[in-house]
Amino acid sequence: MDGSNLKLQHGRATRAIHAGYEPADADGAISPPVHFSSSFSFASAADARDAFTGDRPAHIYTRISNPTLDLLERRMASLEDAEAALAFASGMGAITSTLWSLVQPGDEIVTDLTLYGSTFAFLHHGLARFGVTISPTDLSVQKGLDVIAARRPRLVYFESPANPNMRLVDITAVSAAAREAGALSVVDSTYATPCLTRPITLGADVVLHSATKYLCGHGDALGGIAAGRRELIDTIRMTGLKDMTGAAMAPFNAMMILRGLKTLDLRMERHSANAEIVARWLSHHPVVAAVAFPGLGDFPQRALAERQMDRPGGMIAFELTGGLDAGSALMDRLMLIRRAVSLGDTDSLIQHPASMTHSTYTPEERARFGIGEGLIRLSVGLEDPADIIADLEQAMPAI
């Protein structure tokens, strides 16, 4: 029995452990085997021909597909309530492969104002050089929906919550506006994971993840995921992945991410609970000018967060009153929290976007897109929340 088609309608935590695999498929092994082969043999020339023409489903080469990657893809499709999913070597592999597959010179992409730094760089310094128009728009307000209707782009791209300032975008409203305009909607849901938000069920065409983050959860494997309608995922596989980027996930990494998925629901519950405690403490500290966290009562988009997120997540953005210098001083005094990029690890990680992940923006662009010079991004880990707060507290007097 294929675990992705369980007879009972199991919940997401159960599917994260079982979907797509039965021990009977591998001599009773509870843990799925890892297929390290880069290539796969055929019984005959006719067998090979049928595989290459698509007349017979078969693994040919791991850059295209592999049994271990296939299990991860089926499991992620189940978690996202999508028809199909595709694994990549990294989150940027997922983003670039998807966009290379879905746009061409002369097309326009409407994006939200706030994006991950490398995504911003790829769009503005990469695709734009090949004749693709990039139009940053505030998709969190009605005006953004009006822009989609007026410009009728090929694709609408956004994150929710957005990296690094936690802005939310109404996935249902923007996806509907995109569909009405004849555009595809692509959502980076790395911060949320399918435990918090399911963009496909809210109307999006494609959902993307950096699987390096919460899906893996332990900071020890890179990966990316795209999920959506089968026809779109097949196009991304055979165009963006196979022929353009070659950003294939290694089978070992797929095994590590499959292992991480088994505790995803449990970890997201603890990440969210810890982050809420830390966010409430930060909101009362005198040198913290503002805290952005969907679980706070004064979060400007609290109603939207409650509507499209099951939990507030483990990410916090907060602005220090002292700007750039204050951010540097805080980070230099931390003892427990790790100064590092990435997020979603068991360890709490902190970074200063203006000098790190979003340094690809000019100062003017950061100001325009809501990334303050004193903005701090904190990925709250699984440590005792009292210890996380104690580390922040002892570092604050340096500001």
Please report the pLDDT score of residue 3 as a whole number: 42
- Choose the catalytic residue: 12, 74, 213, 237: 213
Determine phi and psi for 15, rounding to 5 degrees: -65, -35
d(CA 355, CA 327): 10
User: Mapping DSSP to helix (H, G, I), strand (E, B) and coil, where does residue 8 land?
Assistant: coil
Please report the pLDDT score of residue 4 as a whole number: 44
Token pair belonging to 218? 């332990």
- Choose the catalytic residue: 12, 15, 21, 63: 63
Exposed/middle/buried for residue 8 (C-beta within 10 Å: 0-12, 13-18, 19+):
exposed
- Residue 16 sits at the vertex; the CA angle it makes with 11 and 22, to the nearest 5 degrees, is 100
CA 183 to chain CA mean position, Å: 21
Cβ–Cβ under 8 Å, residues 96 and 240: yes
Residue with tokens 């690809």: 360
- Choose the catalytic residue: 74, 112, 116, 377: 116
d(CA 43, CA 137): 54
User: What's the CATH number of domain 265-398, 3.40.50.300, 3.40.30.10, 3.90.1150.10, 3.30.420.40?
Assistant: 3.90.1150.10
Token pair belonging to 88? 């990549």
Concerning whether 63 is annotated as a catalytic residue, the answer is: yes
Bond before 32 cis per omega within 30 degrees: no
Cβ–Cβ under 8 Å, residues 260 and 216: yes
Q: How many alpha carbons lie under 13 Å from residue 348 in its C-beta half-sphere?
A: 26
Q: Which of 390, 279, 268, 398 is nearest to 333 (CA)?
A: 398
**Model's pTM, two decimal places?**
0.94
d(CA 202, CA 217): 25
Token pair belonging to 90? 């990294």
- Choose the catalytic residue: 21, 74, 167, 188: 188
Q: What share of the chain is helix, strand, coil (3-state, %, to 5)?
A: 40, 15, 45
Q: Which stretches in the chain have pLDDT values below 50?
A: 1-6
Q: What is the DSSP letter of 161?
A: S
Type of residue at 376: I
d(CA 200, CA 205): 6
Q: CB count, 10 Å around CB of 197?
A: 25
Cβ–Cβ under 8 Å, residues 184 and 102: yes
The helices-and-strands tally (H runs, E runs) of the chain is 14, 12
Helix (H) or strand (E) run with residue 6 in it: none
Classify 3-261 by CATH class: alpha beta
d(CA 300, CA 234): 39
184-188 and 206-210 beta bridge pairing: parallel
What is the residue extent of each domain of the chain?
3-261, 265-398
The per-residue DSSP string of 337-378 comes to SEE-S---SSS-EEE-TTTTTTTTS-HHHHHHTT--TTEEEE
Concerning whether 213 is annotated as a catalytic residue, the answer is: yes
d(CA 162, CA 113): 9
Q: How far is CA 156 from CA 75, 164, 285, in A?
A: 26, 19, 38
